[in-house]
């Protein structure tokens, strides 16, 4: 297995397909092509993929604001789960954030997803007494319905 920085020319279609299968995105703000474009516009080198031969095994994105890091889009192909792919991707992102001087890494997961919670617990993460709040900025979200377009 090779873990490397995402390459748009080589990886885009496979990542879009994986994310749609793994995450089942239902709204335009999470449309895979849109998310990839936003991440690439940051040019931060914090988007990694795991491949074996020509097969995409998984992805992870990280973000860093100069103090805290964030983990996003850790997704592993269902046929590659429980083989260390997710942990290897997480370690790669954690190392990249550490190398930047990050002092704490955060992530968000759905409260009903016990399997994912257990994965992160096994990797040293713990639930914190926080309330996650969010606000959409609708004028920055694509208006097209990507589900109806077959993406």
**Confidence category of residue 111, pLDDT binned at 50, 70, 90:** confident
% of the chain residues with pLDDT over 90: 76
Is it the case that residue 147 has pLDDT exceeding 80? no
Return the structure tokens found at 89: 């991707």
Is it the case that residue 150 has pLDDT exceeding 60? no
**CATH number of the domain where residue 16 is located:** 3.40.630.30
- In this prediction the pTM is 0.88
CB 142 within 8 A of CB 27: no
| Residue 40 maps to a domain | yes
Structural domain of residue 93, as residue ranges? 2-139
| Residue 147 maps to a domain | no
Alpha-carbon torsion angle 51, 56, 58, 64, nearest 10: 70
Domain count of the fold of the chain: 1
Each residue's pLDDT tens digit, 42-58: 999 999 999 999 899 99
């Amino acid at each position: 297995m090779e873990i490397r920085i995402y390459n748009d020319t080589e990886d885009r279609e496979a990542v879009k397909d994986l994310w749609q299968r793994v995450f089942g995105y239902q709204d335009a703000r999470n449309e895979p092509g849109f998310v990839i474009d936003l991440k690439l516009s940051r040019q931060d080198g914090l988007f990694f993929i795991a491949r074996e031969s020509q097969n995409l095994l998984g992805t992870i994105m990280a973000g860093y604001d100069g103090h805290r890091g964030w983990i996003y889009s850790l997704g592993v192909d269902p046929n590659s789960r429980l083989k260390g792919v997710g942990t290897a991707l997480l370690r790669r992102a954690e190392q990249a954030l550490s190398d930047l001087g990050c002092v704490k890494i955060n992530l968000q997961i759905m409260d009903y997803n016990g399997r994912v919670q257990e994965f992160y617990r096994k990797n040293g993460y713990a639930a914190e007494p926080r309330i996650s709040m969010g606000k959409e900025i609708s004028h920055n979200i694509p208006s097209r319905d990507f589900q109806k377009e077959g993406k």
